Each structure stands twice: as C-alpha cells, then as structure tokens.
Structure 1
C-alpha cells in the first residue's frame, strides 16, 4: 500500500477522530482561542515511553497554550486502553483514540503490527508530531518508525516560540519546490 508523505507547507488533512470525552474533533482544526495546533501521535498503552512523553506534554501545555497553540494527542488504541493509560497521565489536553490504519496512512505514519509480549492487540501508529500554523499549513513535521527517535517537546516549544515571535514572515523550512530533477 502506498503511503502519502506529508510535505512541509501543505495543508494538513482533515482527519476526524473521537476524543475520550465523547466528542468528535478534526485534527486539522484548532480550538477556540488558538490559531496554531500541535498534533502528537503516540503508539498507545503498551508504550511506557509514550506515557512519559504525554506527561512531559502535560507539563509544557501552559507554555504551548500561551503561544496560541492548541494541543491534541491521538493513538490507535481503543477507548478502554486509552483511558487506562491516561489515568497515569491525567492530561489537560484533548486526547483522541481509535485512529484507523487508513487515517495513519493519510498522516504518513509508520504502522507496526502487534508483537508478542508488547500488550498491543492491533496494528498501531509509530510516533508523529505535526505543527499546523494559522493558515492550516504544516509548519513542522516529525515522523519516526521507533519511539526512541522523536524530538524533545521542549525543542518543539522553542521552535514554535521562535516562529511565533518573528517580526516578519519566514518561509516554512523544507518547502522549496523546484522543477529540477
């Protein structure tokens, strides 16, 4: 199956997901009072590194929000597994669950099969981070095939702060287009 690779500067795709509080949300849309969005795709309950990453996200949430950045985390876990993992995190940001394989592919994520001893009971997305700017464009992208190779959230915060505090428009990195081969 071919996977769409999301490109810097393109419009983030509309992906409808369910949140653990029973609502439906579009990953591409920022909440009221926010004009940017950080989408964190995590592997799921079977991943202790993800639990720690979500705890870090929770701690930095006020700083992201102060910059006008809405935050959502999403996994392919069932509602029950998502709630079990999040009991340990107590997130103050929106959390969505049940990301389908097709949605994972739409986001250009790596998808892994469950393995013995992992506790995953279905295919799951490997980590992905997407920062969407006020124009709905991908400002920052990080997609990994392992939980060990994702950027520290403090670095993401630093980068967003840099962009948000610039006086003049700055081109989105990695968005150069050429007809050269």
Structure 2
C-alpha cells in the first residue's frame, strides 16, 4: 500500500505524455495554482460524467488562475478516446505508471476482467497545489463513487488564494 501525501507537502513532480502531443507536468512551482484530477480510465462511466462536469467549470478555475489537468494510467489510444468522448479541452496526461501512482499515494486497483481494462489503474483523486507546489487540497478515494463536489472545490480554491491555511497538518 502506498503512503499518502501529507497536506502542505510538495507534490512530487510527475511528467506524463499528453493527449494531442507534448507533456503534462504535475506538481512543481508554477505561476498559478493547479488542480489535478486523477481518473480511473476509459472503462469508467463515472469518470466520464465527472470529468464532463469538471470541463464545464474550466472557466471558473481559470478565473482563479488554476490550471486543470486530468491524468490516468490509460495508454495513449484510450486516453485519446476518453478525451474525445467526453469533449475535454483540458490537458489530459496518460501512461501514469504503477510506480508513479504509488509516489502520489493513490489507491490502485487490478482490473476485474479484460473487459474492464488490461492493466492496474488508479482510483480517483484530486490534488490542488499552490503556485509553490504545496498540496492545499488532497482527496484520495479508493472507489469510483466518491468525488468532491465541484462547487466546493472552486470555493476552496478561492479561499486558498485568499489566504485560507492548509488544513490537516497537525502531527
């Protein structure tokens, strides 16, 4: 089992190929905030519905200076099919390895059958990082049925930008 990332810590920098070319970089210092939505893969209808809702909120995230990215362990072809089917315009990273999933502290599942998918995949997660690369919000699920309410995520991002402290850091 992977160790979970503590709130307030640096998100490990992960580089993934991106649908459409180039790469998607998770974590690290940047000009603005970053909201990273980890999804299970093309096989997951809940992921499709949820990321469709995220896509509809991109303007709100942009107003707050946040880059939104979606990432999965799917190979290129499946990630492209997912982005096309859902109509995603946000960056979509793919080929997240099991080692990278563990580095991010994700729950990892094995496929129930070849009809589901052909490789281990991450369960859903959300990481919101500050421009300094610190984890402001960490939401890691072990099942597809738990997803943060997006209006609250946007509200939390706004509060974070307004100086709301990183919570959950007491040892």
Task: Compare CA radii of gyration and give the structure with the larger one.
Answer: 1
Output one character per residue of 1:38-79: Cα deviation in whole Å (capped at 9) or x when no partner: 000000000000001110011000000110000110000011
Residue 13 of structure 1 pairs with residue 7 of structure 2: no
Partners of 2:157 and 2:77 in 1: CA distance: 33
CA contact (8 A) 1:75 1:125 kept: yes
Stretches of 4+ aligned residues off by more than 6 angstroms: none
Residue 74 of structure 1 pairs with residue 71 of structure 2: yes
Residue 155 of structure 1 pairs with residue 152 of structure 2: yes
Partners of 2:28 and 2:68 in 1: CA distance: 10
CA contact (8 A) 1:29 1:37 kept: no
- Measured on the aligned residues, the alpha-carbon RMSD in Å equals 1.5
Aligned length: 171
CA contact (8 A) 2:74 2:96 kept: yes
Partners of 1:60 and 1:29 in 2: CA distance: 24
Partners of 2:54 and 2:9 in 1: CA distance: 25
CA contact (8 A) 1:6 1:107 kept: yes
Determine which of 132, 136, 141 is the counterpart of 1:139. 136
Q: 1:25 to 1:117 in 2, by over 3 A?
A: closer
Partners of 1:17 and 1:36 in 2: CA distance: 18
- Tell me, what secondary structure is at the counterpart of 1:40? strand
Compute the TM-score of the two structures, normalised by the length of structure 2.
0.94
In structure 2, the residue matched to 1:88 is: 85
Residue 24 of structure 1 pairs with residue 26 of structure 2: no
Partners of 2:146 and 2:39 in 1: CA distance: 12
Partners of 1:160 and 1:113 in 2: CA distance: 33
Partners of 1:170 and 1:86 in 2: CA distance: 33
In structure 1, the residue matched to 2:169 is: 175
- Tell me, what secondary structure is at the counterpart of 1:7? coil
